[in-house]
A and B are shown apart, each in its own frame.
Chain A
Amino acid sequence: MRNSRVKAKPPKTEATGNATDVVLELRLYVAGQTPKSLIALKNLKKICEEHLQGRYRLHVIDLVKTPQLAQDDQILAIPTLVRNLPQPIRKIIGDLSDTQRVLVGLDLRSQAK
């Protein structure tokens, strides 16, 4: 798996100030193409499409290629999904198979209802 930016639909205008309009900056950390990582990416894409149409930017970071980032971003568990923006930073670990918990982790649960 390469470090790749998964292009979502272009974000909506950010001037509305509405919480739902805030763009989420997400990073998924994986270490090589392990089954867990592939499942996580699949789950994440699905969640994003269902709940965050256009309101996110996603980077997939392969730590095998850029191991330095594991230290810099304090990654221990694999896979880890990090929400860098908006603050505060949130971390979700695991294969993201529990959608509800992912939404809670991303602080999106209220919108997810």
Chain B
Amino acid sequence: MARASKRTKTVAASRAFPQLKKSPSGIAGFDEITGGGLPTGRPTIVCGGPGCGKTMFAMEFLIRGATEFGEPGVLMTFEETGEEMSRNVESLGFNVQSLVDKKKLFLDYVRIEPSEIQETGEYDLEGLFVRLQHAVESVGAKRVVLDTVEAIFSGFGNAGMLRAEIRRVFRWLKDHGLTTVITAERGERTLTRYGLEEYVSDCVVSLDHRVNDQISTRRMRIVKYRGSSHGTDEYPFLIDKKGFSVLPLSSIRLDHKVSKDRISSGIKDLDVMLEGRGFYKGSSILVSGTSGSGKSTLAAHFANESCRSGKRALYIAFEESSAQVTRNMRSVGINLGQYIKNGLLEFHAWRPSQHGLEMHLLRIHDLVDEFRPQVVIVDPITNLISANLNEVHAMLMRLLDFLKDRQITAMFTTLTANRGAEEQTEVGISSLTDTWILLRDLELNGERNRCLYVLKSRGMAHSNQIREFALSRMGVRLLPAYVGSGTVYTGSARLAQEARERAESLREQQQLEEKRKEFSVKRNVLESQIAALRSKLSSGESEFARLTRQRNERQQRLALDREEMGKIRGVTRDNQGVNS
């Protein structure tokens, strides 16, 4: 298993650099920046000042080789005894003694006591070779560590001979195909005090431990790696209870899984602005704003909602203690205490100045590994900013990548200065995040009102509106702010504007009423005129009827008269026509 993984790693490395075989060190991050590890069968110098972690690097290389890659190793120490060394690394969880018992590791402490030694004539260091050979043979070693071989310079007087012998040792190690780590103290102007780098030209790693603003950071740099490309930056690294880890920044690939699932922000109105469904699961959300704009409240809503729906949330606070946040959030109707009690919410508060950046990052890593949250909130990241912005940027990028890789939805708050562009976060991580919510104070008419808008949200049709962000005892509400002619009215200005609008509409209504009355009068007049005309019309009609009737009566009478006359004359109606 270990061998298989080793093979795949070397194959991958040899594809990129066909001429050079590499042995994985097993040190987190180091194999990434060197493209596979240390040069196989060649010596590597690890140099640095006292306390920079040289020995730890070498030990981990050896122990991981023995436990993970099936390569037994030899540790030859010149400064500390084997027992001291095993005790040193025991704190990292390595059991050296059991490896020695299993013949996977061979320890040899070379004690040099100048006061005991009298030099008389010529000698060489053949004893060292005898010991090395014996050690390598007794465990079948593939890896060798010489921990501060320079110590021999203090034990023997003949420097010329020593140099020749050290050169011979390196030659010997190379000839035997041993992947070797040689630690060396940093010199005044040279990488190593005794110029060992002159003899070992394959790979030189420089470690550094410096203190900036009372905060220490460890750095690693690959000074040289013959026949191989490698990261040339200074990489922060740290040594903690899990061992040595380098934090590579540039080798992170962008190949996270993505989710279509959504997660509510805890504020209904905000969810509505985000297609009504909230954030994407596993995305990163940046909440930026000036002080007092409600960033923490927003974060607390999110934490509250996550816990309410049964998700585990990790809340890392750099400004307030757990108790303080809990109390403060109760004022907006959020009870975080209950979730802390039932274990869904884990609250961690520590000072940003407590550690260096790497340590913060690692601490968050550890917390995430232990607690396995679905949601992580860091409030605020601004406080992590130390002297070097690039470092913060790099660290946050790594943190984001780490969280994304685990499909953890992350919310960061960041403080923006009151002046200057608000669309620019101080740490410049906006480009790293998927959703950016901007909280903004608008000062107008002697008051200060909070506004919220979604500046960006990758992969969704988010609202473009600016909403007024109102805090109440019932939590956050987003009021639709009055938007007109490029101006946003909030607070009393909004109320005034609304009043103005109401007055306007009232006036319109009154005008309408007047018009209506006016018209009804007009209608009355017209209607009466119509009535008069109609009565005129009807009287005309009755006249006409009377005349018609009179005419009919008259004609009837004429007919009757004619009949009477005919009767009198004896003429029938039938021949009437003949006669006439």
Q: Which residues of A are in contact with B by a Cβ distance under 8 Å?
A: 29, 31, 34, 36, 39-40, 43, 63-64, 67-68, 70-71, 74-80, 88-98, 101-102, 104-105
Contacts and interface: CB of A to CB of B under 8 A. Distances in A.
Given A71-B108, A91-B117, A101-B119, A78 B124 contact: yes
A68 B106 CA distance: 12
B518 interface: no
Interface residues of B, number: 26
Contacts of A105: 118, 120
28 contacts: A31-B126, A31-B127, A31-B130, A43-B121, A63-B127, A64-B130, A67-B130, A67-B131, A67-B134, A70-B127, A75-B130, A76-B127, A76-B131, A77-B124, A80-B123, A80-B127, A92-B117, A92-B119, A93-B117, A93-B156, A94-B120, A94-B123, A95-B123, A97-B120, A97-B121, A97-B122, A102-B118, A102-B120
Interface string B105-122: 000101110001111111
A95 B108 CA distance: 26
Contacts of B130: 31, 63-64, 67, 70, 75, 78
A79 B117 CA distance: 12
Contacts of B117: 77, 91-93
B202 to A, nearest CB: 25
Contacts of A93: 117-120, 123, 156
Contacts of A68: 134
B109 to A, nearest CB: 8
Interface in B145-162: 152, 155-156
Given A67-B134, A74-B111, A89-B116, A94 B122 contact: yes
B128 interface: yes
B152 to A, nearest CB: 7
Nearest to B116: A91
Nearest to A88: B116
Contacts of B128: 76
A28 B122 CA distance: 15
B130 to A, nearest CB: 4
B67 interface: no
B116 A78 contact: no
Interface string B413-452: 0000000000000000000000000000000000000000
A55 B481 CA distance: 108
A96 B121 contact: yes
Contacts of B127: 29, 31, 63, 70, 75-78, 80
B284 to A, nearest CB: 55
Nearest to B108: A71
Of B112, B118, B128, B135, chain A has the most CB atoms within 10 Å of the CB of B118
A109 to B, nearest CB: 11
Contacts of A40: 121
A98 B156 contact: no
B118 A101 contact: yes
Contacts of A101: 118-120
A78 B125 contact: yes
Contact of A95 (B111, B121, B126): B121
B386 interface: no
Nearest to B133: A67
A77 B123 contact: yes
Contact of B122 (A31, A76, A95): A95
Contact of A92 (B112, B120, B152, B156): B120
B163 to A, nearest CB: 15
B120 A98 contact: yes
Contacts of A74: 110-111
A19 to B, nearest CB: 19
Contacts of A29: 127
Contacts of B126: 31, 34, 63, 77-78
A79 B152 CA distance: 16
Nearest to B106: A71
A78 B123 contact: yes
Contacts of B108: 71
Contacts of B129: 31
A107 to B, nearest CB: 10
A79 B123 contact: yes
B120 A36 contact: no
B120 A76 contact: no
A71 B131 contact: yes
- A-B pairs with the 7 shortest C-beta distances? A105-B118, A67-B134, A94-B121, A78-B126, A97-B121, A95-B121, A94-B120
A36 B122 CA distance: 7
B131 A96 contact: no
A89 B152 CA distance: 20
A79 B127 CA distance: 8
Nearest to B124: A78
